[in-house]
Structure 1
Amino acid sequence: MVTAMAISQRLLAIVMLVAMTAILPEMLSGNTTAPVLFRPDAFIFFSFAYGLPILVIREWAIRLGLGKGGVFLAGMAYGLINEGLLAKTIFRESGVPIDLFDHYGFAFGVNFPWALFICVWHALSSVLFPIALAQHFAGPVGALPWLGKWTAFVLAALAVALASVFFLNDETTGARGEPAILASLWATMAVLAFAASRLRATPAFSPSDGLWKPWAFGLAGLPLMIALLLFARFDAPAPVYLAAFAAIAAFWVWFIHRQGWFGQPAFCRVALGWYTQMVGFSWFSMIHRSPVTIAVGVVALALIHWLNLRAERRIAP
């Protein structure tokens, strides 16, 4: 029997995950200013556009027992929802959010280098890291489902329907989407979901000593991201860019695995280092446009660091 306390703990965990998926990727990256993000209409939109599908991914991952690799591939599929169905940026030859990708590697109506870059970024920043942090903060209910099966199914169907309708009808982000492109996007996401379902979790726990090392490794994501941007900046051949991307990704996975950081609490320290470098990266774009966003971002970052320290003390022997 589920107690009232367990229900309240799960509701709090859901609210925490949805809030993090709306705030961390958008504001810490400098993509959306704090005054805009915290407008009621904008926050509701981001909570639905980000929080709803990511909550569904989290429930699906828990029920199937997916590992972090599986959640990452599901996050890639989410990247296609966000940047393919909603924002439609992967179909732009110019006017890409990072203009270094304008006219770079564009073929068959798709900006492939940008699509790979932004989908991997979303898989980490919007899906894998927020889910890991929310589950770590949630305590005893962190490893349990937070929704009933039918509730999760209804929310999944709602997310699919809303994203599809938006893609076919919205013109604020470009031309209306074509049904054939919609079908190809969902087919690609289905392949990613199938691959994700094969990557099950294995028990992992990281010792609590030396936790600043994984934080520093997450912080080192900044030079790696800059290195990839330089390939686009100097118009390197797309195959070279893709090979460099694959090499950097392989190094990341190998190093984290070698250090034993896929377990908690070390993996959350990697996530916190990643978000710290995002704040540093966004400083350059936000310091003149919206200094208040930098201030709010620093406060948000300090808050999740504090929550993480609480969680670490709770599980410490």
Structure 2
Amino acid sequence: MAIDRAHHHRLRSALGLFVLAPLIGEFLLGNQPVTALPSVFLLAPLYGGGALLVREAARRAGRGWPTMILLGAAYGLFEEGPVDQMLWNPHYGGFDLAAAYAGPRVPVLDTSVQLLQDVLTLHTVWSICVPIALVEAFARGGDRTRPWLGLPGLSVTALVFVGGSGFLALAQVESEDFVAAPGQFAAAGCVIAVLVAVAFLIRPTGGRGAAPLPRPWVVGASAFAATSAYWGREHLPDGVPAAVPVLGWAVLLAAVLVPCVRWSRSAGWGGAHRTALAGGALLTYVWVGFEQSRYLEVSRATQLLGSALFATGALVLQAVAVHRSGRREGSDPPLV
């Protein structure tokens, strides 16, 4: 009976991640109105299937967050490359992306450097890592680092992910009337393959030490400040050279990674810190969602209602996750 309960809990965790990923990645962000909530079932195979495959692949291989971060980056390139083709479509979604991202370009992928930075940031952080961290906060005992699916469940998830991705890719071609060049698809595929290979080749080195570690709320506040600063570049005045936000992104990335690597090597790093780190990023999407929803083609009242509803859900989820993770400490390998 205990084994059955544990199995059911793992399945609930997998299902929770499957649904939570698109809710954060699209609805909390403000990309979809509350009236489109049923479409979560169309988005879940891509977002939820991707997050679940990233998590299960890393955990089955005995790996931790470095692997999931790199796999999350590969997922981001996959979604906005072969699936949506936003990396190359200059008029994606009816917006003039060619003008919005007129700065330096990445030669191999043939896309804007700043657009690539946005794709990697949004999907690695919010589509993949934040949902995984929050759902793992509810895991029982060793289930946080244990696979939640057996081979049959993993196979079904992979099929759902591939099928959902293919469906959305065809829908995008139909709606956007755009198909990238074969070389662009090939380049994206090569970069994705490299990211996946590196994700499983890297191994954390060194043990844990007694480095000073801030309290969880400080970690969460730092994550909120850093991710809010990232979105702050949306408010840069006109005329700022394109190189400024590009270099600013690199500086901000270093400012985040350096302390996170140091903190993760501390013997005191645990579940409360991980949940706070994810929660800080989650709360950034709460305020960003209110701004982004202004561009939705629904009434302002519907925009505000939807943002308020998803924000409330995010706040409740984070509060419960903090409570649960504080009672279930556990360590991941250091980031390096």
Q: TM-score, normalised by structure 1?
A: 0.84
Cα 1:179–1:156 change in 2 (3 A) is farther
Aligned counterpart, 1:11:
11
Aligned counterpart, 2:174:
171
1:223 Cα deviation from its structure 2 partner: 4.1
Cα 1:142–1:67 change in 2 (3 A) is closer
Q: Is the 8 A contact 2:103 2:114 kept in 1?
A: yes
Cα 1:106–1:233 change in 2 (3 A) is farther
User: Residue by residue, what CA displacement relative to the aligned partner does 1:102-134 show, whole Å, maximum 9, x if unpaired?
Assistant: 433357652331122222221010111211111
Matches of 2:192 and 2:237, distance apart in 1: 26
Structure 2: gaps (5+ residues): 295-299, 331-336
Aligned counterpart, 2:55:
58
SS at match of 2:229: helix
User: Residue by residue, what CA displacement relative to the aligned partner does 1:46-66 show, whole Å, maximum 9, x if unpaired?
Assistant: 111101121111110101222
Identify which range, 194-203 or 290-299, moves more after superposition.
194-203
Cα 1:300–1:187 change in 2 (3 A) is same
Cα 1:2–1:119 change in 2 (3 A) is farther
Matches of 2:132 and 2:208, distance apart in 1: 16
The residue type equivalent to 1:124 in the other structure is: V
Pair 1:253 & 2:249 matched: no
Superposition RMSD in Å: 3.3
Identify which range, 135-144 or 14-23, moves more after superposition.
135-144
Aligned counterpart, 1:33:
33
Identify which range, 225-234 or 307-316, moves more after superposition.
225-234
Identify which range, 300-309 or 184-193, moves more after superposition.
300-309
The residue type equivalent to 2:316 in the other structure is: L
Cα 1:306–1:81 change in 2 (3 A) is same
The residue type equivalent to 2:283 in the other structure is: T
Identify which range, 94-103 or 16-25, moves more after superposition.
94-103
Pair 1:23 & 2:23 matched: yes
Q: Is the 8 A contact 1:218 1:274 kept in 2?
A: yes
Aligned counterpart, 2:130:
129
Cα 1:248–1:26 change in 2 (3 A) is same
Matches within 5 A, 1:232-271: 234-238=239-243, 241-260=245-264, 263-271=270-278
Q: TM-score, normalised by structure 2?
A: 0.80
Structure 1: gaps (5+ residues): none
Q: Is the 8 A contact 2:223 2:281 kept in 1?
A: yes
Cα 1:107–1:185 change in 2 (3 A) is closer
1:222 Cα deviation from its structure 2 partner: 4.3
Cα 1:133–1:204 change in 2 (3 A) is farther
1:297 Cα deviation from its structure 2 partner: 1.6
Cα 1:5–1:116 change in 2 (3 A) is same
The residue type equivalent to 2:217 in the other structure is: W
1:254 Cα deviation from its structure 2 partner: 0.8
Q: Which has the higher contact order (CA 8 A, sep 6+)?
A: 2
The residue type equivalent to 1:24 in the other structure is: I
1:270 Cα deviation from its structure 2 partner: 1.5
Matches of 1:295 and 1:243, distance apart in 2: 34
Aligned counterpart, 2:291:
284
Aligned counterpart, 2:217:
212
Aligned counterpart, 2:324:
311
Matches of 2:228 and 2:327, distance apart in 1: 33
The residue type equivalent to 1:77 in the other structure is: A
Cα 1:121–1:98 change in 2 (3 A) is farther
The residue type equivalent to 1:55 in the other structure is: L
The residue type equivalent to 1:163 in the other structure is: S
Matches of 2:183 and 2:167, distance apart in 1: 14
1:269 Cα deviation from its structure 2 partner: 0.6
1:298 maps to which of 301, 311, 320: 311
Matches of 1:187 and 1:136, distance apart in 2: 34
1:101 Cα deviation from its structure 2 partner: 2.9
Matches of 2:287 and 2:58, distance apart in 1: 31
Matches of 1:125 and 1:23, distance apart in 2: 10
1:20 Cα deviation from its structure 2 partner: 1.3
The residue type equivalent to 2:271 in the other structure is: Q
Pair 1:117 & 2:114 matched: no
Q: Is the 8 A contact 2:84 2:168 kept in 1?
A: no
Matches of 2:320 and 2:96, distance apart in 1: 32
Matches of 2:177 and 2:237, distance apart in 1: 23
